[in-house]
Structure 1
Amino acid sequence: MKAGWITLALGALLAAVPAPDAAAQTRTTAAAPRHTDADVRFVRMMIGHHQQALDMAALVPTRSQRADLRLLAERIDVSQRDEMATMHRWLQAHGAPAMDAHAGHGGAHASHDGAADSSHADMPGMATPEQMAALAAASGPAFDRMFLELMIRHHEGALQMVAELFASEGGGQEPSIFALANEVDADQRMEIGRMQALLEGPLSPTAPR
């Protein structure tokens, strides 16, 4: 008799436990931020944007005699290569092929049909082919100042791209894109500060020679 009472009590207790709300679970899943077309476009464009920074940084060792500028170029190279690797992995994970990183970035590369990719050419802060050629032809203090001026402008362009991503509808809300965009923003701001300090200090026109 006692065992039967216990069985009935357990049955009533289990019946009182609410079943999982499938609808609520679906709503939670649907509410999780998903990537947008703006996210894909941002990643693709930023890969090309970073590539030009790498091309500029690669000129420093053979054209500058300044140890501080060489160290800055190394830092830019390491940070932007790491971010590019992250961006390539993100595109692969989301089934979005990457664009030619060199297309239209101001170098000698073009798209497969022979014309530069205008979407890359129109990115903010990108150096023109003429500016890249002038930078490659310079050396010494003239190169140092030109490099810093072009790279500051280039980094400011990346900040604009991040701002445009977050201003787009739903852009930058998917967790990995949110983290990436904020990392790009933080890195570029820090490096802009370093470059401005060099331009206003040892590379200032009024600095003692």
Structure 2
Amino acid sequence: MKNFRIRFSLIFLIGGLLLQACTGTGTWGTVGQTPNPPDRLSTQELEALFRARTDSVRMRVHEADVQFMTGMISHHAQALVMSGFAPTNGSGRQVRTLAARIINAQKDEIAFMQQWLLDRRQPVPEVDETGQAVHAMHMPGMLSPEQLQNLENAKGLEFDRLFLTYMIQHHEGAVTMVYTLFATDGAALDDIAFKLASDIQVDQITEVARMRSMLEALPAPRRNR
């Protein structure tokens, strides 16, 4: 079907050139004069020209889309750092399973967003080992260095409670970023960007509800006597 559309468009492109020559319009000459046609293009060259023009139209992006992808890469990267503490610091199987699910999902989304930026010749942000993007502006839900350190130092039930509390904060920040994107005029008209943002919104809202239930089910913290 894709090849058919290309050939169909090429027919109109070639037909337009021939019609221009026959009617004497454009720069080829006037009626009664022998036109001087331009150098002939092969079918392969015409197809390459067609592909280049359609790709150019398809790859036009809104600045808000680029900012969203760039920011969400850093946002996801911090979630990977947070989740990476769970196998050694967490006490509950549910928390460790949730952390593993977050790592698998958000690693794939980071790679997807990086490729989206590369395909559109946009810079891809560098992310350090703490999940902070170099020169990145503050984004909703991001943990402060102190919060991240507290999470890394926590063990057992204390870790589970902090992890769920902080990850709820983190997820809600990501949802806010999606809302901001959708509220921006002209943004998210790119089908790929729209679908990714929509998926992130649905997934993270669902996970927030699950984490709230998990948090409520944890034993109450012990009080010092």
TM range (shorter): 0.7 to 0.9
* Contiguous gaps of at least 5 residues in structure 2: 1-14, 17-53
Are 1:192 and 2:213 counterparts?
no
- Distance in structure 2 (CA, Å) of the matches to 1:167 and 1:86: 23
Residue 92 of structure 1 aligns with which residue? 118
User: Cα offset for 1:150?
Assistant: 0.4
Are 1:149 and 2:165 counterparts?
yes
Residue 181 of structure 1 aligns with which residue? 197
Are 1:77 and 2:93 counterparts?
no
Deviations 1:43-76 (A, max 9, x none): 0000000000000000000001211111000110
Alignment check: 8 A CA contact 1:198 1:204 kept = no
User: Normalising by structure 2, what TM-score?
Assistant: 0.69
| Superposition pairs of residues 35-184 of structure 1, within 5 angstroms | 35-102=61-128, 107=130, 111=134, 117-119=135-137, 122-184=138-200
Q: Percent identity?
A: 41
User: Cα offset for 1:36?
Assistant: 0.1
Alignment check: 8 A CA contact 2:77 2:131 kept = no
User: Cα offset for 1:34?
Assistant: 4.4
Report the AA paired with residue 95 of structure 2: L
Q: Given the superposition, is the C-alpha separation of residues 56 and 108 from structure 1 closer, same or farther in structure 2, using an over 3 Å criterion?
A: closer
Q: Given the superposition, is the C-alpha separation of residues 170 and 109 from structure 1 closer, same or farther in structure 2, using an over 3 Å criterion?
A: closer
Give the number of aligned pairs.
Answer: 169
Deviations 1:89-148 (A, max 9, x none): 100100001111339xxx38673xxxxx251xx100000000111111110111110010
Alignment check: 8 A CA contact 1:52 1:102 kept = no
* Contiguous gaps of at least 5 residues in structure 1: 1-18, 21-28, 112-116
Alignment check: 8 A CA contact 2:64 2:184 kept = yes
- Distance in structure 2 (CA, Å) of the matches to 1:90 and 1:98: 9
Higher RCO (Cα < 8 Å, 6 or more apart): 1
- Distance in structure 2 (CA, Å) of the matches to 1:43 and 1:165: 10
Report the AA paired with residue 66 of structure 1: G
- Distance in structure 2 (CA, Å) of the matches to 1:87 and 1:38: 14
User: Normalising by structure 1, what TM-score?
Assistant: 0.74
Residue 45 of structure 2 aligns with which residue? none
RMSD: 2.4
Q: Given the superposition, is the C-alpha separation of residues 129 and 165 from structure 1 closer, same or farther in structure 2, using an over 3 Å criterion?
A: same
- Distance in structure 2 (CA, Å) of the matches to 1:97 and 1:31: 19
